[in-house]
Amino acid sequence: MSSSLDHQSGVETLDAAPSPVRKGLGVLFWVCVAWIGIVVLGAILASVVGLQDPNYQGFSAINAGPSTAHWFGTDDLGRDIFSRVVYGARVSLTIGFGAMAIGMLVGGSLGMVAAYRRGAVDTFVSAASYVMLAFPALVAVIAIVAFWGHSLWKITIIIGVASIPLVYRVVRASTLSYATREFVTAAKAQGATDWRILTRELLPNVMPSIISFFLIGVASVIILEGALAFLGLSVQPPTASWGNMINESRTYLSSNPWLVIFPSLAMVLFLVALNLVGDVLRSALDPQDGKL
């Protein structure tokens, strides 16, 4: 089952009997992975699998509950909620993964370089990150979105930039604990360049914490997008995002709760799955845990 982690525990070739301490990642982990996979696939393939147009207004069924024709029911304009949840995943996931990718690329690289080089680079970038962190992220994002615009890519970039200082701090802290280790000195003593040490010696060590922080970060960004949508500052209607749908349907909370329940459920389940997978991966990939 745990074949994806064989690079961590692949001793089969040598040790005849599998190590008894090697335990699986648990059923829950794989359920969560499957769920994340389904949501991501759905978001990618939404336009291919022949879902109803999420913006098609079918006046024959307005504010209808779940049925075989409309699995999740319809909203006040007769739009299919299932279709909108799937298309909404597209927006939420693009912002979530896109923003974190930007944060990881910029913040992660800066964090690793700062922790490895120390000195003036570290002092300067760290000070800058403190300044950025001191500014409430949500307020900053709201202000910039209000000025710059609401398009999907602009929101992704803005949230991505806002996540840089946080990613920077996490990656820097993680790298710091390895940068002074003897194996880095040993690599230097073998003639390795700084680039080589960063990418070949340090990166594999900080990767576990980067991966888990990435997943948990995606979850936080999706929540942030929800908050923005709730304030009407995310992608504009009629484009569906999970946050958008919750915001639009809150007036119908008492008359048609399905409107809120389905996008909220999609969001909550996806976030729980992300957090859980991130957490399990972090402890499973940590070479110090139970390996010595």
Partner 1 sequence: MTSIDVESFPVEGSDSGPILEVNDLVTSFATPRGRLTAVNHVSFALDRGETLGVVGESGSGKTVLSRSILNLLPSKGLEQSGSVIFDGTDMLTAPKDVLRTLWGARISMIFQDPMSSLNPVVRIERQITETLRLHLKMDRKEAKATAVALLDQVGIPSPAERVRNYPYQLSGGMRQRVMIAIAIACSPRLVLADEPTTSLDVTVQAQILDLLAAMKAERNMSMILVSHDLGVVATRADRIAVMYGGRIVEIAPTKTLFASMAMPYTQALIGSTPRISQASHVRLTAIEGRPPDLVNPPQGCAFAPRCPYATEQCRTDVPPLVAARNNAAHLYACWNPLSGSGGTVSTQGGASS
Residue 270 near residue 35 (C-beta atoms within 8 A): yes
Q: How many residues bind partner 1 (CB under 8 A)?
A: 28
Q: Please state the φ and ψ torsions of residue 174, each to the nearest 5 degrees.
A: -65, -40
- Smallest gap from Cβ 220 to partner 1, in A, equals 27
Q: Are the CB atoms for 267 and 189 separated by under 8 Å?
A: no
Is residue 13 involved in binding partner 1 (CB under 8 A)? yes
Q: Which of residues 179-238 bind partner 1 (CB under 8 A)?
A: 181-183, 185-193, 196, 200-201, 204-205, 207
- For residue 124, the minimal CB distance to partner 1 (Å) is 16
Q: Closest separation between CB of residue 26 and partner 1, Å?
A: 23
* Rounded Cα–Cα distance for residues 286 and 67 (Å): 46
Q: Which of 93, 89, 61 is nearest to 75 (CA)?
A: 61
Among 153, 253, 287, 289, binds partner 1 (CB under 8 A): 287
| Amino acid type, 56 | Y
For residues 48 and 292, which CB has a smaller minimum distance to partner 1 in the complex?
A: 292
The least distance separating partner 1 from the CB of residue 176, rounded to whole angstroms, comes to 14
Burial class (CB in 10 A: 0-12, 13-18, 19+), 83: buried
| CB-nearer residue toward partner 1: 204 or 238 | 204
Burial of 165 per CB tally in 10 Å (0-12, 13-18, 19+): buried
Nearer to partner 1, 8 or 52 (CB): 8
Alpha-carbon distance of 166 to 104, in angstroms, equals: 10
**Contacting partner 1 within 14-33 (CB under 8 A):** 14
Please tell me whether residue 105 adopts helix, strand or coil conformation: helix
Task: Tell me how far, at minimum, the Cβ of 51 lies from partner 1, in Å.
Answer: 43
Binding to partner 1 (CB under 8 A) within 87-126 occurs at: 118-119
Nearer to partner 1, 75 or 201 (CB): 201
Residue nearer to partner 1 on the CB measure, 53 or 289 = 289
CB 218 within 8 A of CB 89: no
Give the residue with the Cβ less far from partner 1, 250 or 291. Answer: 291
As to burial, measured by CB atoms within 10 angstroms (0-12 exposed, 13-18 middle, 19+ buried), residue 55 is middle
Nearer to partner 1, 238 or 287 (CB): 287
CA angle 26, 27, 29 (to 5 degrees): 70
Q: Which positions lie near partner 1, rule CB under 8 A?
A: 10-11, 13-14, 118-119, 181-183, 185-193, 196, 200-201, 204-205, 207, 287-288, 291-292
